[in-house]
A and B are shown apart, each in its own frame.
Chain A
Amino acid sequence: MELPGGTACWYGMAFALWVVAALLGLVGRRGTRIGLPLLVEAGCLVTLVAAAVGGDCRFALPMPLYLGLAPAAFLADGLSRWFLLLIGLVGAAVVPFAPAYLRHLERRVSLGVLWAALAGLMASMCLVVMAANAVVFLVAWEAMALTSFALVASDHERRSVRQAALVYLCATRVGTGFLMAGFLWLHQITGSWVFSQWSVSGAQALGPCLLILVGLATKAGCWPFHLWLPVAHPAAPAPVSALMSGVMIKTAIYAMARLFLLGPLSVPLMGPLLLVLGAISALWGVLFALLQHDLKRLLAYHSVENIGLILMGLGLAGVGTSLGSPLLRDGGLAAALFHTLNHGVFKSLLFLGAGAVETGAHTRDIEQLGGLAKRMPWTAACFIAGSAAICALPPLNGFASEWVLYQGFFALARTGPSVVTRLSGLLLMAWLGVIGALALGCFVKAVGVVFLGRPRSHEAAHAHEAAASMRAPQVLLALCCVVLGLLAPVVVSHLASVVRPAGQVGSAGLLWNLPLLPLAVALVLGVLAVAGLVTAGSRRPRERYITWECGFGELGAQTQYTAASFAQPILRLFGRVYSYSLEVAIEGADHRHFPESVVVTTGHEPYLETRVYRPLLRLVQRGAGGLLMRLQAGSIHQYLLYMIVALGLLLWLGARP
């Protein structure tokens, strides 16, 4: 449907709103509580409406904004609109949360700059998913990286934040480097910058595609390039983490779908590769999430897990393409795209919940929390809803998209041409089951230790509920989780049309045969019926009494199970993955019967960091450091010499016929 004034104008309007907000934020220091948030929110809402209601459109900016290599052309087709919808929806939900949340940072952080960067991030994310050619894409990609770096570094007076921002900057620079190399290579082969003209296949495409994959996987936070994610997310303010984890890392998913699956590039190896990377990512993410005690770090590792699930969907689609099966291709893509939206919704909900806990109880260390459900009932209820969604429990949205993924793998098992493909379909289903059970354990740990039980610290005991403007977005996102879950059949049939070129009927809808709505209604009615049965005619009163303490008297909050002890059996089960160790030292003269002190030490070794990245870094330092030291002598004349030599070289190269 064409919106009044043309759909392209709406996107232009959103962009203009964000640019104005960014400029105002950079210039003035005022309006950070109402004015700037309103502008950014308006931009999000306009994008949301345009993406949800408006039709496809393409437009190019006039000549003065020509980027030198390729025209500044944009395209909003079905795939782009899906991601614009995600950006608009999560943005619109997160922005109202921010002003009240940021109040506790007011003294340390210049909020004008933060809002300017936020507006810039929104605008550049929209441009990334609308870019029609590689040059525009790279420019927008860099803008996105830099604005998000500014946001991560916003609380830069703290040393840990500065370090995290630096790690993030390095990761995103390296990723862009790989991406650019891949794009240049493809341009070399095809002579074009336009995505839809890159029809390369076979061995020729393998090299550039691998480079692009590394670049995109770094941004997405896929194993083994995920190191920046658990560092950057806890450092950033909660709404920023919500946006980055919920939306920004998804732009890499967009690019993968656009280039490898919906574009003319054809690399048969890509499907299995994505499948393996995704499978490892998913397990790795959830296993490391179980180890974490920082609520936001835990959520960050779950982003690694969910990106893994999305990549498994994309990988299935790739396998389907190379097997010539439209069902697998469409099913895999639909599962991946659906899960992208769902993860955006529930992960931003959870990050906002973590932010509310942070402002309410002044700590994110879950070992210091406890019993918040009594003091923060709204946040607790929303966090539980988000946890149920991320654990893929029916009838919420996480289940709907994971179910499509399950059905896709079952279709692989059923229609696969060889024993290996059929068996791998079944094995991947079991793999998903293990990941689901682990995620459930992890979120029971998080919810149970943070919100239930008794408070473990003074701060937790005196926590206060978040402001209304912080509660409303959480409720809204929780409702989105329910609605998206119940509307799953509609969403999947819409996605089936997105993943097919115009005029063809998608087959992803064929995968959906679960009567989810009646089942959900039956479930809710069942719960209510049990509740009615229990409360009806109970004559005896419910007594309140202390928790059973074996008759020892008041034991204090320290006797509760901690997060570390809750996760310990699962961690020991998978101990080999990170060489988990646990030592118990009991001191005392008669330490068998009267222990005087008990010290439990747990440890683990993140192999990826200690065995791969650190030696690599050391190698780079040793190798390049000496060379750079000589080049960077600090003499201005030397630098001028470099410039002259470089200029001469360029002139000579450029002037050659």
Chain B
Amino acid sequence: MTPAMLLVVGAANLLLVPAFLAGVMRKVKALMQGRTGSPVLQPFFDLAKLWRKGETVSETATWVFTWAPRVFLAANVLVAILVPWSGVALMGGLPYAADYVYVLYLMGLGRFFSLLGALDTGSAFGGLGASREATLSVLVEPIVLLSLGALALQSGSTDLSTLFSGPVTPLVAVLSGFALLIAALGELSRMPVDDPTTHLELTMIHEAMILEYSGRGLAQIEAAVWVRACVFFGLASQALLRAWPGFENLGGLAQYGLGLAGLFLVGGLVAVAEGLLVKLNWRRVPHFLAFGIALGLLSALVAAARG
């Protein structure tokens, strides 16, 4: 791809795709539940509305509360620029910039601040959500490291741009892809790990964390979450697309098109599943994520055996 095309793709990836994916997922879920649902572009409207609104901040809050969404958003946007989740490596020219360990820890930086922001107001909801989010990340981290590690072992590089451009054993791609999908459900607190749409605070993980945010603070967090959803669903769909051996021989634009199609397909399937599944009891969530760890282990095993 030429630099100009990369620029266009990058702008679309960051400004349009994340909110659009969120809108599509909401729509699919609404249709699954027999509702008409809000327009697909509703996330954009939501964002504009939040941006115009005033902000109410707790008296207990300190600078951490103000800066947490900024770090959270910046870290996730940087991750979205680095990771080739749509099939196009925006930062392909800067070798090793998309090192997956770095990317994971960059997300960790965002999480660290978002958790602190949740605790800053001294609200019990914030504490509850933060505690559960921290627990989930303990389970998600090994899944991502194992499945991406298995893929990286095959391409010989921890750089995600290189990782997704080399040949991959289909079995590893499938195992890693499904493991990443499970990791995405955990990391993004989607069904069956958590229901992002309920408004009973006690059932929520992520929503409880951000209960105190309003106005522009909330807008930043929402945007960051949509971007992160793109990255995680994108990684899963990219891994699954690699199961088709012909994929790596395609041209840049075709890969981008298929990548976006895969992303929306994965997102849509998750939304369909959300319409069908019930939320797991919080105590059963580790049980669900354990299947992801097992898939990651098996993927690592196959990759290691292949050498």
**Interface set of A (CB-CB < 8 Å, partner B):** 370-371, 373-374, 377, 380, 384, 387-388, 391-394, 399, 403, 406-407, 410, 413-414, 419, 422-423, 425-427, 429-434, 436-438, 440-441, 443-445, 447-449, 452-454, 513-516, 518-519, 522-523, 526-527, 529-531, 534, 538, 540-548, 557, 559-561, 565-570, 573
Assembled-state Cα–Cα distance A282/B30 (Å): 46
Q: Which of chain B's residues 65-93 have a Cβ closer than 8 Å to chain A?
A: 67, 69-71, 73-75, 77-78
Interface centre among A414, A516, A557 (most CB of B within 10 A): A414
A545 lies within 8 A of B57 (CB)? yes
Which of B95, B116, B131 is in CB contact (< 8 Å) with A569? B131
User: Can you give 17 contacting A-B residue pairs, CB < 8 Å?
Assistant: A370-B122, A373-B63, A373-B64, A394-B105, A407-B101, A422-B304, A425-B304, A427-B300, A438-B138, A441-B134, A441-B135, A448-B116, A530-B70, A547-B123, A547-B212, A561-B131, A570-B138
Could you tell me if B141 and A433 are in contact, using CB atoms closer than 8 angstroms? yes
Q: Nearest chain A CB to B217's CB is how many angstroms away? A: 8
Q: Which residues of B contact A426 (CB under 8 A)?
A: 146, 149-150, 153, 300, 303-304
Residues of A within 8 A of B215 (CB): 540
B59 contacts A544, C-beta separation under 8 Å: yes
Majority SS at the chain A contact face: helix
A279 CB, nearest partner CB in chain B, Å:
13
Residues of A within 8 A of B74 (CB): 523, 526-527, 529-530
Chain A residues with Cβ under 8 A from B217's Cβ? Answer: 534
A445 to B138, CA, bound (A): 14
Q: Bound state CA distance, A515 and B78, in angstroms?
A: 14
Inter-subunit contact B55/A542 (CB<8 Å): yes
Q: How far is the CB of B180 from chain A (nearest CB, A)?
A: 14
| Given known A-B contacts A454-B60, A534-B216, A541-B54, A429 and B149 have beta carbons under 8 A apart | yes
Chain A min CB distance to B98 (Å) = 10
Kindly list the 7 A-B residue pairs having the minimum CB-CB distance in the complex, ordered from nearest: A561-B127, A540-B54, A448-B119, A453-B122, A526-B74, A441-B134, A422-B304
A566 touches B149 (CB 8 A): no
Query: Contact check: which of A384, A407, A515, A540 meets B158 at CB < 8 Å?
Result: A407
CA distance A393 to B77 in the complex (A): 16
A371 touches B60 (CB 8 A): yes
Q: Mark B248-279, 1 if CB is under 8 A from A, else 0.
A: 00000000000000000000000000000000
- Tell me the B96-111 residues at the A interface (CB within 8 Å): 96-97, 99, 101-102, 104-106, 108-109, 111
Please state if A566 and B127 are interface contacts (CB–CB under 8 Å).
yes
Taking a contact as CB atoms under 8 Å apart, the answer to whether B304 and A452 are in contact is: no
DSSP class of B's interface residues: helix, strand, loop or mixed?
A: helix
Q: Which residues of chain B are within 8 angstroms of A530 by Cβ–Cβ distance?
A: 69-70, 73-74, 220
Q: Do the beta carbons of A560 and B122 come within 8 Å of each other?
A: yes
In contact, B55 and A543 (Cβ under 8 angstroms)? yes
Minimum CB distance partner of B77 in chain A: A526
Query: Shortest Cβ distance from A106 into chain B, in angstroms?
Result: 33
**In the complex, what residues of A have CB within 8 A of residue B126's CB?**
561
Partner of A559, one of B94, B106, B120, B124: B124
Known: A447-B119, A548-B123. 8 other contacts (CB 8 A): A429-B149, A430-B141, A437-B108, A437-B134, A448-B130, A449-B119, A452-B116, A530-B69
> Is B115 an interface residue, CB under 8 A from the partner?
yes
- Given the known inter-chain contacts A427-B300, A569-B131, please indicate yes or no for A388 contacting B305, CB distance below 8 A: no
Whether the Cβ atoms of B135 and A570 lie closer than 8 Å is: yes
A377 to B64 Cα, complex, angstroms:
11
For the complex, give the distance between the alpha carbons of A436 and B112 in Å: 12
Judged by a CB distance under 8 angstroms, whether B301 is at the interface is yes
A430, B304: Cβ atoms closer than 8 Å: no
The answer to whether B296 has its CB under 8 Å from any CB of chain A is: yes
CB of B138 within 8 A of CB of A573, answer: yes
Out of B62, B106, B127, name the residue touching A394 (CB < 8 Å).
B106
Is the beta-carbon distance between B304 and A394 smaller than 8 angstroms?
A: no
Which bracket fits the contact residues of B?
Answer: 35 or more
B128 near A561 with CB under 8 A, answer yes
**With A434-B142, A540-B54 as given contacts, are A519 and B102 in contact (CB-CB < 8 Å)?**
yes
Contacts of A370 in B (CB 8 A): 122
Q: How far is the CA of A370 from the CA of B112 in the complex (A)?
A: 18
A523 to B102, CA, bound (A): 12
Among A377, A429, A565, the one with the most B-chain Cβ atoms within 10 Å of its Cβ is A429
Partner of B108, one of A384, A391, A543, A546: A391
B101 close to A403 (CB less than 8 A): yes
A449 vs B134: C-alpha distance when bound (angstroms): 15
Contact B130 A430 (CB under 8 A): no
Q: How far is B101's CA from A419's CA once the two chains are assembled, in angstroms?
A: 23
- Taking a contact as CB atoms closer than 8 A, the residue among B55, B60, B156 that contacts A547 in the complex is B60
A569-B131 Cα distance, complex, nearest whole Å: 7
Among the listed B53, B70, B304, which residue makes an inter-chain contact with A534, where contact means beta carbons less than 8 Å apart? B70
With both chains docked as a complex, state the minimum distance between the C-beta of A441 and any C-beta of chain B, in angstroms.
Answer: 4
Does residue B33 face the partner (Cβ distance < 8 Å to A)?
Answer: no
Q: Is the CB of B127 within 8 A of A437?
A: no
Verify A523–B301 contact, CB threshold 8 A: no
CA of A453 to CA of B106, assembled, Å: 25
User: Residues of A contacting B115 with CB < 8 Å?
Assistant: 440, 444, 448
Question: Do B102 and A569 have beta carbons less than 8 Å apart?
Answer: no
Known: A526-B78, A566-B130. A413 touches B153 (CB 8 A): yes
Q: How far is the CA of A538 from the CA of B97 in the complex (A)?
A: 34
- Taking the closest CB of chain B, its distance from the CB of A564, in whole angstroms, is 10
CA distance A433 to B148 in the complex (A): 12
Tell me if B152 is interfacial: C-beta within 8 Å of chain A. Answer: yes
Given A388-B109, A434-B142, A570-B138, decide whether A447 and B116 contact each other with a Cβ distance below 8 A.
Answer: yes
A423 to B146 CA separation, bound complex (whole angstroms): 10
Task: Give per-residue flags for B138-167: 1 if the beta carbon is below 8 A from chain A beta carbons, else 0.
Answer: 111110111001101100101000000000
Is the beta-carbon distance between A430 and B149 smaller than 8 angstroms? Answer: yes
Contacts A438-B138, A527-B74, A545-B58 given; does A429 touch B145 at CB 8 Å: yes
Asked if B37 is an interface residue, CB under 8 A from chain A, the answer is: no
Docked CA distance A534–B255 (Å): 35
A94 to B172, CA, bound (A): 51
Partner of B102 from the list A384, A403, A453 (CB cut-off 8 Å) is A403
Which B residues are CB-close (under 8 A) to A523?
A: 74-75, 78, 106, 109
Taking a contact as CB atoms under 8 Å apart, the answer to whether B122 and A557 are in contact is yes
A444 touches B104 (CB 8 A): no
Q: Are A437 and B137 in contact (CB under 8 A)?
A: yes
Query: Is B286 among interface residues, defined by CB-CB distance under 8 A?
Result: yes
Instruction: Give Cα A301–Cα B62 distance, bound, in whole angstroms.
Output: 29
B56 in contact (CB, < 8 A)? yes
A419 CA to B305 CA in the complex, in Å? 5
Once the chains bind, are A454 and B122 in contact (CB under 8 Å)? yes
